Structure 1
């Protein structure tokens, strides 16, 4: 009986492996996508082993789709820096192959050389047609949930602890409304961050203001923690609302380190924009620029939004209230002559909620400042074709001139599925920030370890971390660099 079952399972496995396109078709598709992303003569496919297939659970109604999994070996045909900010790099490679950050190995900090071999575990989605199988998109990557960045207790999640504290203090008696409970949760959350931050400092650690649990800042903060801990540096990443919240926490002394956008940091130093009421933060210092965060304007490819002007009168998401991304998004609209009141609806949800609403016809577009490729955008491309709307060149020039900490860039071709050409846009730098009170020796140590060439950011789960390099460490800085960081960056 057992033997019969094993034979049947083997037969099913072999049948699954034989479904879909043949080996030659798969190899040709992968090579074509590499060429589309990097041009000719950069990468070649040395070997491809098919690893099975599965039905695509997200296939549109009436379509039969298969996800084809494969392992591949790629040869670098000429010197290439996959961490570059200005040319196709790791983002385009991962998107073209339908891989996750941990599915790619062989990328070298400071650039790969001709003859290097890269290994990638990838996946492509094929649609069955009358003529056979047609490649649709690489499979989107859904990042695993970020682990709790604060450990309140064994068996307790952060939310459970906040609820328990609220009950113990009788802050949310029966009948309390949703707004009251939100206020209580926000204040308790802030207090918990303060406690964790102070405890970390007491234990000679560095509390780090990261971001929302599913965001890129949180994932980068977690990767930093895992890479630097074995080297003797203890970081404690904290869950926060994002870049604006992080700057305020740093100023209050709740944390020692913070992640935020370069344009927001410049406003904080000068006491302008969201920081006008609190005044200049003269003690703010940068340790380094980490990676570019690009303005993404996203709409359905078959929808009414084709350029920035067509956003007027449409339902557009600007991002969550109080976020650094939202402030930049409003400035981008203003540079194109559009005010929030010119929109039919100015929504205030996160990126994942906005993409779902676009898919369901409830929104026409969304603006988001985020590192590329964004996991949620890649995943959403499986369910619908998205258009990455270019910013007008005149508006980009205006923003660069009037908003320090920003710079013109392009979203490289193949960064996202079905994106065949570079898309002009505006970018800011994600900065690692501290206060001037951080000692020069601490700043030098931290910065030096951050840019160590043996840091494997992809293995730690961060695509954005792979873009760190000393060559870009001072890019888009509009605030003072800490003297200790300067020493680390100038040393070989």
Structure 2
């Protein structure tokens, strides 16, 4: 009898333990994370309701972790602009709560007022330690792949068209290897993008060069498409290789709108850097500066490297060849007295591949220009501790002076798990670009709708879109605004560089 009672008590104890932290522990953890990210008296936790838990499939071997899901209500204790570029905002809030963009509501364009309530569906990961639980990190948000377009069936048609063109042109014979097939697929996909863009323009739409599928540019382009469609503006977002590819597509006339970095746009206007062979693109115009893209220099949390000078002789990823991010990364290295030959290895991986290599000990660091928070960095923080390296103040000043379109900034505290302090770095702006193909009236309408206060960018799936603000629409610009954008934004004409 006594033995049965003891077994029952043990079972109850284990069952209670398996549920994870209690309500008070969870509430204290959330409030602590909010205070760490925003400081005191900015946000208070009014209510928290647990919504279940699940075992963490990414837990290290031999370690038990639980993902705790919750709904929370937060009160704004003093006026706060969560779309600000210069202080903790929506990026820090989403990271602190382990939320996705659609898991947060109540953010107001232009800033929230004291007393406003925010609703958040979040998640935290806890590690079992003896009879207790310790918070590890908020769960990383893994975004779904961005659709090619909002037009029904076009994504499937695109895949079929790529396959049909390859077959019709006899580009993939049976003996072709994996690398050859990848090249064929890339080239045919690019041709299909060009065809889609020109057909869309013929039908009076706005083909928009976004970025790689599931990347920030692609997600922003898709969000922009869904928000502007009910307002009578038909965009056609196209997946591309990124900002450098986008500028070339825009110049060729394959698209009429494009997303790219502010420093890349300035190089294109002047015909320098990667655009030296094609010469100046004098007709390039900006519709607006959208959001900041800070330079991220990432190492493992336990790495002995503390600054960029410490990367000498290390294995460092610089980004994919031909990407706008890689060009900026090389300039950042040079400003710190480093060239690729000073590294033990200069890798050419995308961000996800680089983070995997860092986790597995095959790389020491990676450089990436990307809006914060980057989903892949947040998700990677579940498997390992990551640390951002600060850029030297003198290097930042040098780059601001020598590379128009860049500006000093900080990655705000709490943007990423375990980031307790702001990190000084350099940033560029993500720009919406066009050229003379668009009339002043078209651009005026586009810009007004892009910055419309009723746009819910988080609900549309873009964290970065929440940072759009007319007040920052010229920030980081080193090229002229289109006359239609000047009309929409009420800005005086600036001289052509």
> Equivalent residues in 2 for 1:48-87 (5 A)?
48-87=48-87
**Does the 8 Å CA contact 1:250/1:258 hold for their aligned counterparts?**
yes
Partners of 1:260 and 1:46 lie apart in 2 by: 40
> Equivalent residue for 1:331?
331
> Equivalent residue for 1:210?
210
**Does the 8 Å CA contact 1:17/1:51 hold for their aligned counterparts?**
no
The answer to whether structure 1 residue 353 and structure 2 residue 353 are counterparts is yes
Secondary structure of the 1:156 match is helix
1:367-391 CA-to-partner distances (Å, cap 9, x unmatched) read 0000000000000000000011111
Secondary structure of the 2:156 match is coil
Partners of 1:233 and 1:304 lie apart in 2 by: 52
> Equivalent residue for 1:466?
466
1:111-136 CA-to-partner distances (Å, cap 9, x unmatched) read 00000000000111111113511111
Q: 1:387 to 1:154 in 2, by over 3 A?
A: closer
**Does the 8 Å CA contact 1:289/1:477 hold for their aligned counterparts?**
yes
> Equivalent residue for 1:386?
386
Partners of 2:124 and 2:29 lie apart in 1 by: 9
* TM-score (norm. length: structure 1): 0.94
> Equivalent residue for 1:194?
194
Shift of 1:204: 1.4
Shift of 1:172: 2.6
281-290 or 129-138, which deviates more: 129-138
Partners of 1:453 and 1:436 lie apart in 2 by: 27
**Does the 8 Å CA contact 1:150/1:196 hold for their aligned counterparts?**
no
Partners of 1:428 and 1:69 lie apart in 2 by: 35
**Does the 8 Å CA contact 1:150/1:238 hold for their aligned counterparts?**
no
> Equivalent residue for 1:165?
165
> Equivalent residues in 2 for 1:391-410 (5 A)?
391-410=391-410
Secondary structure of the 2:58 match is coil
> Equivalent residue for 1:145?
145
**Does the 8 Å CA contact 1:17/1:52 hold for their aligned counterparts?**
no
Partners of 1:460 and 1:442 lie apart in 2 by: 23
> Equivalent residues in 2 for 1:281-292 (5 A)?
281-292=281-292
1:253-296 CA-to-partner distances (Å, cap 9, x unmatched) read 00000000000000000000000000000000000000000100
Partners of 2:375 and 2:78 lie apart in 1 by: 29
The answer to whether structure 1 residue 416 and structure 2 residue 431 are counterparts is no
297-306 or 66-75, which deviates more: 297-306
Shift of 1:393: 0.9
1:9-35 CA-to-partner distances (Å, cap 9, x unmatched) read xxx9xx689711111111111111000
> Equivalent residue for 1:451?
451
The answer to whether structure 1 residue 276 and structure 2 residue 276 are counterparts is yes
Shift of 1:154: 6.7
> Equivalent residue for 1:487?
487
Q: 1:254 to 1:83 in 2, by over 3 A?
A: same
Shift of 1:404: 0.2
> Equivalent residues in 2 for 1:206-285 (5 A)?
206-285=206-285
Partners of 1:166 and 1:158 lie apart in 2 by: 12
Partners of 2:283 and 2:152 lie apart in 1 by: 31
Partners of 2:78 and 2:22 lie apart in 1 by: 30
Shift of 1:362: 0.8
Shift of 1:194: 1.6
1:76-98 CA-to-partner distances (Å, cap 9, x unmatched) read 00000000000000000000000
Shift of 1:176: 3.3
**Does the 8 Å CA contact 2:148/2:154 hold for their aligned counterparts?**
no
1:435-474 CA-to-partner distances (Å, cap 9, x unmatched) read 0231000000000000000000000000000000000000
Q: 1:394 to 1:456 in 2, by over 3 A?
A: same
Partners of 1:148 and 1:404 lie apart in 2 by: 32
**Does the 8 Å CA contact 2:148/2:237 hold for their aligned counterparts?**
no
**Does the 8 Å CA contact 2:256/2:437 hold for their aligned counterparts?**
no
**Does the 8 Å CA contact 1:150/1:158 hold for their aligned counterparts?**
no
* TM-score (norm. length: structure 2): 0.93
**Does the 8 Å CA contact 1:137/1:417 hold for their aligned counterparts?**
yes
1:40-83 CA-to-partner distances (Å, cap 9, x unmatched) read 01000111111111111111112111111110000000000000
Secondary structure of the 1:135 match is strand
**Does the 8 Å CA contact 1:103/1:121 hold for their aligned counterparts?**
yes
Q: 1:311 to 1:341 in 2, by over 3 A?
A: same
Partners of 2:114 and 2:154 lie apart in 1 by: 49
Shift of 1:214: 1.8
What's the RMSD between the two structures over aligned residues?
A: 1.9
Secondary structure of the 1:223 match is helix
Q: 1:152 to 1:341 in 2, by over 3 A?
A: farther
Shift of 1:153: 5.1
**Does the 8 Å CA contact 2:83/2:466 hold for their aligned counterparts?**
yes
> Equivalent residue for 2:5?
none
Partners of 2:460 and 2:196 lie apart in 1 by: 23
> Equivalent residue for 1:8?
none
> Equivalent residue for 2:136?
136
Secondary structure of the 2:286 match is strand
Structure 1: segments with no counterpart, 5+ residues: 1-11
Shift of 1:304: 3.5
15-24 or 42-51, which deviates more: 15-24
